Amino acid sequence: MVAAAIAGHSTIRGLDTDSTQADKAILQALAETGVPLFVGNNEIKVGSDLPVQLKPFHFDATDCPDLFPPLVALASVCHGSSFIRGVGRLAHKESDRALTLQEEFGKMGVDILIHGDVMGIKGTTTLRASTVHSRHDHRIAMATAVAALRAQGPVLIEKADAVNKSYPAFFNDLSKLGASVHALDKIF
């Protein structure tokens, strides 16, 4: 959904919007950005054929810390500063996700400040081409790949195979959505 919000549009089918899964809260952040969003029977439509200037958002991710990486990807291209609460929940993941997000998104030109339990992300319209590292964290690999959709040039993700932990087909699926994805000598 974040990929569609920042780089086009997509229809997602088969998600239960009445689920008790905490990660469905991503819809709140998306709505706050002003991206065209339709939630209907068994489908969610995100994005538009026309460019949309995304507004910054405030989000409490304390109860859904796995949303931090995609929320940072979203905030990285919002016009202004977004704030995400719940940083304390990130220290003991596959990496120290707060510091990893700050460092890796910083390589793409995104300013991220951490103050106590809040992360502030100053968005930019176009991210820098760069080399980032997943830190062997599947969610970091996916978030940087999604953010790379708005980069002014290629973004090389070292140890991108970290996605195999939760979503082995991630790069194939991203390619099917129109992204230019290359792995070593293989083109998806």
Catalytic residues: 66
* Surface-to-core class of residue 71, CB atoms within 10 Å of its CB (0-12 exposed, 13-18 middle, 19+ buried): buried
Pair 107, 129: CB distance under 8 Å: no
Q: What whole-number distance in Å separates Cα of residue 93 and Cα of residue 171?
A: 22
The CA distances from residue 129 to 54, 142, 187, in Å, are 21, 16, 19
Q: Is-contact 3 74, C-beta < 8 A?
A: no
The answer to whether 36 and 48 have CB atoms below 8 angstroms apart is yes
Local structure of 1: helix, strand or coil = coil
